[in-house]
Chains A and B, each alone.
Chain A
Amino acid sequence: MVDNTQAQAAPTAAPAQTGQTNTAPEFTPRHTTVPREVGEAVFDVETVSVAYGGAPALKEVSMRIPKGEITALIGPSGCGKSTMLRCLNRMNDLIDGASVSGRITYHGEDIYAEDVDPAEVRRRIGMVFQKPNPFAMSIYDNVAFGPKLHGMKSNLDDRVEKALRGAALWDEVKDKLNDQGHALSGGQQQRLCIARAIALEPDVILMDEPASALDPISTLAIEDLMRKLRGQYSIVIVTHNMQQAARISDRTAFFTVDMEQGVRVGELVEYDLTETVFTNASDQRTESYITGRFG
């Protein structure tokens, strides 16, 4: 009997999955390659352009970012990959003179719609920065900061422990939760920042070069952590380190800088499965960059 139900369940489950992955993208990106097999998307980016104080920084980017996977944004300095990342949780709003055009939907909702509160967007979409930036408070208070902010005060201790465990930091700090966050090593600080982000139970974590200020061992710890978080969270990571993108990401988007009427503008060149981008890039510029001939 047991065998029978499982056998019955399996064939029904399989078509459901393939059915999901087969859903065609609802829009056709104009300037970019179409990423293969993006099933359920967490973000739909449609012709997004960004300018800082009138100077264009990023031009007409369209991409679907899949749910539960790791998407890497790579490219040379100034190519707008960090700008793209900061669009996804409206961090660009905090910069004077930044303007974003186009449309970004998060689970189908336009995050730039007028009735959307940017603070609420940032609460759902966590962010980890390039330089570890714990607050000048205890480890516990750092992690509890977000939940306290949003009135999630019940079972705070459990929440903090869960977040620290999730960030693979609990065993190292469980006996010194009242120590200053700054007293930790750089890699631990960065994991503390990840714990701080996941304490709010976001479903997306944006990471802006999270390992660039860390030594190789801490970097590997962060990468292991990302693999662990994959599936439960959708992760978008900006990285300068192509090996890192190749090691951890499911999909890779390659950005580059383009001269346009004397202004340097970032654009998306290619977006595909990481394997494809790294072994069989369709654009010459991607291949040059990845093989180290440029950038």
Chain B
Amino acid sequence: MEDRACRRRRRAKTTTLTPETPPTFRPLGEIDAHTRRRKRRSQLFRYVLLVAMGLSLFPLVLILWTVVSNGIGAFGGEFLTQPEPPARREGGGYLNGIVGTLYMVGIATVLAVPLGVLAAVYLVEYGRGWFAGTVRFFTDVMTGVPSVFVGLFVYAALVRQFSFGTIMGAVGLAIMMLPIVVRSSEEMLKLVPEDQRAASAGLGARKWQTITKVVLPTAGPGIVTGSMLAVARAAGETAVLLLTALGSLQVVTAFSGVAQSSITLLIYQGAKQPFDPGKERAWAGAMLLMGIVFLLPFTARWITARRTR
């Protein structure tokens, strides 16, 4: 009984919600207080977001400005073609560092990218159960390992047996790159629609044919972009190289046996010594490195975009 009364009351209430007078036309400009409040709040949030974006861009702009304004002075043709002279002397450049960075990052890319992409293919296309879960977990852990640890690891495992050098530095960089390549490639492979795999299988393709002929080409541009981020990361790596490449004043083209230099190591050494010419070269080196890191993803995207068109 009580239940029914309750229901009736509710029904009565809902009927009062329907307007007693038929709705009349109101001009669109005529807004009630509630709508006005919503509009104001919407505006407010937009400004908050704008300020947040401005604040987060501010350091970036500041860095760009500081590095370029300090580095432009020592930058030039000589900087790119001469090795670093003693810190007190004017002129000269970072050729030894540029060669070292190109060498080590190049070798690290050759080591890390194919391995990382293969691991990602395994995780996406075959990975089921505990093993894949474990691989994924440790890849995540590796992403967060401080680079000094990686440097120490390579030092303890390899450098003490052999010597500082190009290959050692490259191995250290490859270890830093690997998790980035795996995770970014994995995300890109997951983006390949399942219906593409089904279409390929429906034409009688075996799994490896589907992977090599459909999945990898479709994910290709994304994988390249992700790999370039890893390359950029490796190019800016310092701590690993301190313990594996050590640094060199001459241009080194040997793969092993001789300590190797890099742009980051030269910046590190140039910045901590007291003489102005060396410091200026360090700024120019920083500018060069930043240019490389900024340009790499753009070139990668440009190349892949042209290839797929």
Contact = CB atoms under 8 A, between A and B. Distances in A.
Nearest to B219: A136
Given A136-B218, A137-B217, A131 B205 contact: no
Given A133-B195, A136-B217, A149 B209 contact: yes
Contacts of B213: 145, 149
Nearest to A122: B204
Given A133-B193, A135-B214, A136-B217, A197 B198 contact: no
A131 B199 CA distance: 10
B23 interface: no
A60 B11 CA distance: 51
Contacts of B10: none
Interface residues of B, number: 20
A293 interface: no
Nearest to A136: B218
B273 interface: no
A129 interface: yes
Interface string A166-193: 0000000000000000000000000001
Interface residues of A, number: 27
A197 B201 CA distance: 11
B195 A197 contact: no
Contacts of A126: 202-203
Interface string B209-224: 1000110011000000
A142 to B, nearest CB: 9
Contact of B203 (A94, A96, A131, A145): A145
A145 B200 CA distance: 9
Nearest to A142: B199
Contacts of B199: 129, 133-135, 193, 196
A259 B137 CA distance: 42
A146 B201 CA distance: 10
Contacts of A133: 193, 195-196, 198-199
A119 B205 contact: yes
Given A145-B213, A149-B209, A129 B204 contact: no
A197 B202 CA distance: 8
Interface of B: 128, 193, 195-206, 209, 213-214, 217-218, 308
Interface of A: 89, 91, 94, 96, 119-124, 126-127, 129, 131, 133-137, 145-146, 149-150, 193, 196-197, 200
